[in-house]
Amino acid sequence: MRSSSSSITFLALNLALVACQNHSSGWAAKNFKTLVTFGDSYTDESRLSYFSSHNGSAPPVGWTQPVSYNTASGGRSWPRYASIYNDATLYNYAVSGAVCSNDISPRTFASINAPFPDIANYELPAFIADSKYTSANGTKFFSGTPSDTAYAIWIGTNDLGNDAFLTDSQVSGKTLVDYLDCVYNTITGLYNNGGRYFVLLNLAPLQLLPQYATPANGGQNATRYFPTKTAYNATEISWRMYEAVATVNDVYRYRTPFEALVNRTWPGAKIANFDVNALITDIWEHPASYLNGTAPLNTEGWINHCSLDGAHCVPVADGTARDSYLWFDELHPSEQTDRVVAREFVGVLDGSSKWAEYW
């Protein structure tokens, strides 16, 4: 037992050493001409609206997603900004409301009377189908190559939220480990399809969102996304969310190098952990360094105020005043926050970001 314990300790020390070394060689933003993204409303442009307007049917193979100026941020999404900043072609498979797997924490989308399309069963298969699609005139739909394509995954807001793990609504017997397995299995699926550069965005500081924050930090008794919150203790909800986020993000930090360097799950691949949690927390703590609107800087309030049934929404800021807010609504970052995330994401692609670790 002592020998086994020593081996584990030695392995942990080696991992820690490796994590501190510079493994960003091979990363250069100018090399990435294609960006492929997966996730939920933090990333979606218009896929969910396609499902809504087509009786729950998915977009056809080879569907070109239109640019949206009215995403969950109130404007353009962070991957759209990232593609603009880096002059890259964007293929965005994120779906608002998505979780990593509906086999773990399904959530019902009332408009189609079915679970929200997830990464494991919709987003990843949809991309793989598109990546192999050639139109009748012989034009390939997907223009990316292994060396010029970066894949980004940002998922977990819904997985850890209400109607999922936060309210013990996951499938019986499923744990956060299953959620994490799903995320890493997604990377494996992309790797098997030819992907070689991956950026894994960790969980945002969900406990700071108006939906989950403590009352002292502007947390709400109930929101349109969590109308039953009054049945719970608001402070307990916030701290439970904080605990889950901190746990999952710590696992991300250590599991990624373990999979990449010890298990060698993806030989020849490059992977970066983007600590978007630390970035958004820094915006919350030092807003003047990031927010630049014409209204007083605001990290606890939000722009779009809606009734609990979502039928009536009134913005409290418009025009450049919106850029003073960290949050667009009770659950989503603002467009200005998305611009910051996009800018720092491009820095991650360049291999020199202080918000990233590389393997």
The band of 176, judged by pLDDT with boundaries at 50, 70 and 90, is very high
Number of compact structural domains in the chain = 1
What was the pLDDT predicted at 1?
44
Residue 154: inside a domain, yes or no? yes
Residue 9: inside a domain, yes or no? no
Residue 315: inside a domain, yes or no? yes
Q: In 10 A of CB 126, how many CB atoms?
A: 22
Lowest mean pLDDT among 24-28, 54-58, 183-187, 304-308: 24-28
Q: Give the span between the Cα atoms of 255 and 178, in whole angstroms.
A: 14
| Percent of the chain whose pLDDT exceeds 90 | 92
Residue 23: inside a domain, yes or no? no
User: Rg (Cα) of the chain, in Å, rounded?
Assistant: 20
Q: What is the mean pLDDT of residues 104-108?
A: 97
Cite the beta strand spans of the chain per DSSP E. Answer: 34-39, 89-92, 108-109, 114-115, 149-154, 197-201, 270-274, 298-302, 304-306, 313-315, 325-327, 356-358
Residue 18: inside a domain, yes or no? no
Report the predicted TM-score, pTM, of the whole model to 2 decimal places.
0.94
The band of 332, judged by pLDDT with boundaries at 50, 70 and 90, is very high
List the one residue out of 39, 35, 45, 36 whose CA is nearest residue 75: 45
What was the pLDDT predicted at 169?
98
Cα separations (Å) of 285 from 35, 76, 282, 289? 30, 24, 5, 9
Residue 8: inside a domain, yes or no? no
What was the pLDDT predicted at 20?
46
| Percent of the chain whose pLDDT exceeds 70 | 94
Residue 136: inside a domain, yes or no? yes
What was the pLDDT predicted at 7?
57
The 10s digit of each residue's pLDDT in 83-103 is: 999 999 999 999 999 999 999
What was the pLDDT predicted at 124?
99
What was the pLDDT predicted at 32?
98
Map tokens 């399904």 to a residue.
Answer: 106
What was the pLDDT predicted at 26?
86
Residue 147: inside a domain, yes or no? yes
What was the pLDDT predicted at 24?
74
Torsion 184-185-186-192 (CA) sign = positive
What was the pLDDT predicted at 17?
46
The 10s digit of each residue's pLDDT in 214-266 is: 999 999 999 999 999 999 999 999 999 999 999 999 999 999 999 999 999 99
Token code pair at residue 107: 């959530």
Cα separations (Å) of 225 from 72, 111, 115, 222, 339? 13, 15, 16, 8, 24
The 10s digit of each residue's pLDDT in 337-357 is: 999 999 999 999 999 999 999
Whether the CB-CB separation of 294 and 344 falls below 8 Å is answered with: no
Q: Give the span between the Cα atoms of 327 and 208, in whole angstroms.
A: 10
Judged against a pLDDT cut of 60, whether residue 320 lies above it is answered with yes
Token code pair at residue 281: 């927390």
CATH assignment at residue 164: 3.40.50.1110
Q: Give the span between the Cα atoms of 156 and 161, in whole angstroms.
A: 8
Cα separations (Å) of 9 from 148, 234, 318? 38, 40, 55
Domain span at residue 333 reads: 28-351
